[in-house]
Structures are given as structure tokens and as C-alpha cells.
């Protein structure tokens, strides 16, 4: 199978107060298109940092990140934005819905950015899938946390991304709501055949992915069920 994400010798070093802080140290892995992966590890181990690099939100200090066959470090910020819009979906721990947009408009934004057609119908369909069709004209403040995260799921899938990144998608939700959101996430993923990368503390969630990468202190300490050689 073809790999959609290739991480080669990636390090991230922060300069803080004149000292160098190595947050990621020579990370290597490759992810097959369509697979589901969990990245776990203790707080401060560098999970979010890694996710940011994979999604092209940030640049590595050294090494290469190849997304969908395109080397990200050669691109400028605007080109990476185009990549994100075309191939990448995001789910955030704190939902990050745009507060001045209605649920429907939030779902529409990635499509609008892409200049797609029939946006509205498609977005409504997705909202229906997450069970919020009747709340489409509500603003984020009018929705509960779980509802907001469901809207953000709809948004993440709206542009039919090749790869979807989720950073602690259930971190701000109670157990019951978490369960619902996770089910929804995996259902949608199955339908769309998207590659899914989840950063999480939640072991239950991690257990549902095909592959699990553990990092600690900026290095990979275990990589179970690796689907590459």
C-alpha cells in the first residue's frame, strides 16, 4: 500500500531563554493511506508538536515531512495552507469553531476556501450525518461542548480530506459524550476512507486504531502493528 505520510529524521528544537530544548529527536515513521493511527505519550512528550509538523502547521528543525507525496519543508506558508485546505482535516481539543459563524457556515468554510460547488447541500448533509441538521443556524455559543465537537467533525470531513488530524478530540468531553463522538468519528472515517491520526491520552480511544505510536521525551518508544516494513 502507498504511504500518505512520510516522516524522515524529523527533529524539533526550540530556543528558549538561550538554551536549546529538543522536543522531537530524530523521528521516523510512515503511514499508509486509509489507516488509523493513535499517537500516545505522557504530557509534554511532544505529541502536539509532532502533529503540527505532520499537518504542515510548523516547520521541522531538520528532517523531511512528506504529505501525499509533497515535501512540506520546501513550501512557503501559503502553499502549505493550500495543501491543508486540499488534503488535510483537523479536529481540535477545544473545537475551534469560528464563534461568529453558524454551525452550517462553519462546515461550509473549508469548501468555500476551495471554491467548491453545491456547498450548502453538502454541508447540510454532513450536519445531518452528525445529527445536527436542526441546529444548522445556531451559533457555537448556543451549542453544548459535545454538539460543538460534532459540528467540528462535520467540518473536518467536509472537504473530503486525504488525512485527518485530531488532537485530543475528546479531551474536553465527558465519558458518555466522548463515546458518541468517537463512534461518529470512526463511522465517518469508514465511509470516507480517510487516513486518521489521533493524538490522545484516552487508552480506550487508542485501542480502536489499527496502529499505535508511543512517544516519550521526543523519541518513539513503541510502534505497535506497524503496517510498513
Residues that bind other proteins (CB under 8 A): 2, 4, 33, 48, 51-52, 55, 57-58, 68-70, 75, 77-79, 81-88, 90, 92-94, 96-101, 105, 109-110, 112-115, 140-141, 155, 162, 167
**Contacting Mg ion within 35-64 (CB under 5 A):** 48
Give the span between the Cα atoms of 92 and 85, in whole angstroms.
16
Q: Does 93 bind Mg ion (CB under 5 A)?
A: no
Which one, 105 or 202, has the nearer CB to other proteins?
105
CB of 48 to Mg ion, least distance (A): 3
Side by side, the strands of the sheet bearing 70-71 are: 19-32, 3-16, 62-67, 70-71
Which one, 44 or 131, has the nearer CB to ligand ATP?
44
How many other C-beta atoms lie within 10 A of the C-beta of residue 64? 14
Phi (first) and psi of residue 211, to 5 degrees? -135, 150
Give the span between the Cα atoms of 172 and 36, in whole angstroms.
22
Which one, 155 or 214, has the nearer CB to ligand ATP?
214
| 8-state DSSP, 2 | -
Q: Cell 468555500 belongs to which residue?
A: 112
CB of 169 to Mg ion, least distance (A): 12
Residues in contact with ligand ATP by CB under 6 A are 14, 16, 21, 23, 41, 43-49
Applying CB under 5 A, the site for Mg ion has a residue count of 1
CB of 96 to other proteins, least distance (A): 4
How many other C-beta atoms lie within 10 A of the C-beta of residue 119? 18
136 touches 103 (CB < 8 A): yes
CB of 113 to ligand ATP, least distance (A): 27
CB of 180 to other proteins, least distance (A): 20
Tell which phi-psi region holds residue 63, choosing left (phi > 0), alpha (psi between -120 and 50) or beta.
left
Binding site for Mg ion (CB under 5 A): 48
Amino acid at each position: 500500500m502507498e504511504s500518505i505520510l512520510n516522516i524522515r529524521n524529523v527533529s524539533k528544537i526550540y530556543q528558549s531563554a538561550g538554551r536549546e530544548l529538543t522536543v522531537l529527536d530524530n523521528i521516523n515513521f510512515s503511514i499508509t493511506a486509509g489507516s488509523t493511527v493513535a499517537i500516545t505519550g505522557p504530557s509534554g512528550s511532544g505529541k502536539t508538536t509532532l502533529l503540527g509538523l505532520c499537518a504542515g502547521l510548523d516547520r521541522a528543525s531538520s528532517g523531511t515531512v512528506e504529505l501525499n507525496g509533497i515535501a512540506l519543508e520546501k513550501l512557503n506558508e501559503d502553499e502549505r495552507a493550500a495543501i491543508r485546505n486540499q488534503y488535510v482535516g483537523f479536529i481540535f481539543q477545544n473545537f475551534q469553531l469560528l464563534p461568529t459563524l453558524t454551525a452550517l457556515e462553519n462546515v461550509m468554510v473549508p469548501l468555500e476556501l476551495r471554491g467548491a460547488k453545491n456547498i450548502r447541500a453538502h454541508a447540510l448533509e454532513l450536519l445531518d450525518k452528525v445529527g445536527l441538521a436542526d441546529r444548522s443556524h445556531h451559533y457555537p455559543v448556543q451549542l453544548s461542548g459535545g454538539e460543538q465537537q460534532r459540528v467540528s467533525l462535520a467540518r473536518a470531513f467536509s472537504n473530503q480530506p486525504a488525512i485527518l488530524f485530531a488532537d485530543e478530540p475528546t479531551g474536553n468531553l465527558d465519558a458518555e459524550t466522548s463515546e458518541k463522538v468517537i463512534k461518529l468519528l470512526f463511522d465517518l472515517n469508514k465511509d470516507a476512507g480517510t487516513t486518521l491520526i489521533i493524538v490522545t491520552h484516552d487508552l480506550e480511544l487508542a485501542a480502536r486504531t489499527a496502529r499505535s505510536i508511543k512517544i516519550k521525551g521526543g523519541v518513539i518508544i513503541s510502534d505497535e502493528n506497524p503496517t510498513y516494513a
